[in-house]
Structure 1
Amino acid sequence: MPFIIKNEIGSIFIEDTVIQEIVGMAVIESYGVVDKASKDSFEEIFSYFGFDPSYKGIKITINNNNVDVDIYLILEYGIKIPAVCQNIIERVKYNLKFYTDISIDDVNIFVQGIRTEMDL
């Protein structure tokens, strides 16, 4: 379901995948993020076969033009998780406001794992 922005000239429809792409770029640019985790088994299967979309690990929910974002991440060992997550939340909200003029209601981050240098 697209996000709809109405103005005096007409309407702008922004698809979920566009929002997911913007969120994905903001997440990957953030310090401490190693990778995005699969949000469900469907994404896990696609990742196994080499198909790794940029919106992996990102779920967008739009209800009555209210946008909620769920982000599933793998973070780097040794970082302060609350500080990194707060930075990601601020970056996601800023980027979506800047590029689309969408204000986000909730950004939820689910840390699915920690990766050390030995894991690489």
Structure 2
Amino acid sequence: MKLQTVAGSTHISTVVLSKLVGMAAKMTGGIASMPTSWLEGITNKLSGGSLQNGIDLKVDRSTLEINIKIVVKYGVKIQEVCRELKHNVKETVEHLTGLTIEAINIRVEGISLKQANA
């Protein structure tokens, strides 16, 4: 993604944007994982992109659409987890990059029934 200013231009790769989204997702409580297809999983392991699982970006000039797939923990309120995730992603990406986020779409792919060890 290219940002043009009076002083020049800045290029931010989609890999960096995906990692920022992944970091914001890790800060969100109630998310068990971010699933990937088998091809994404292999690609991310080879490239070291573990924070990019389940994240798809659509970039158009200075706007960004973010699509995130998540698995939530059993017993959490899905609506609240999604609201917190959207807030965290928007705050992180807009604050650190100056980009305008057009949309954040979240797809809940499942519920994790694993119990945390007490």
Shorter-chain TM-score tier? 0.7 to 0.9
Letter in 2 for 1:16: T
Classify the secondary structure of the residue corresponding to 2:50: coil
Give distance in 2, aligned partners of 1:45 and 1:95.
27
The 5 A counterparts of 1:99-110 are 99-110=96-107
Relative distance call for 1:118 and 1:95 in structure 2 (3 A) is closer
Structure 2: gaps (5+ residues)? none
Instruction: Using structure 1 for the length normalisation, give the TM-score.
Output: 0.86
Letter in 1 for 2:108: V
1:54 pairs with 47, 51, 54, which one? 51
Give distance in 2, aligned partners of 1:62 and 1:82.
26
Classify the secondary structure of the residue corresponding to 2:52: coil
Residue 117 (structure 1) shift: 2.8
The aligned length equals 116
Letter in 2 for 1:76: K
The 5 A counterparts of 1:7-86 are 7-38=5-36, 40-45=37-42, 53-86=50-83
Contact 2:27 2:88 in 1 (8 A): no
Residue 62 (structure 1) shift: 0.5
Residues 7-27 of structure 1: CA deviation (Å, up to 9, x unaligned):
111000101000000000000
Residues 20-65 of structure 1: CA deviation (Å, up to 9, x unaligned):
0000000011010111111x3412455799x762101101110232
Percent pairwise identity: 25
Instruction: Using structure 2 for the length normalisation, give the TM-score.
Output: 0.87
**Displacement over 3 Å in runs of 4+:** 44-49
Relative distance call for 1:83 and 1:41 in structure 2 (3 A) is same
Give distance in 1, aligned partners of 2:112 and 2:30.
10
Structure 1: gaps (5+ residues)? none
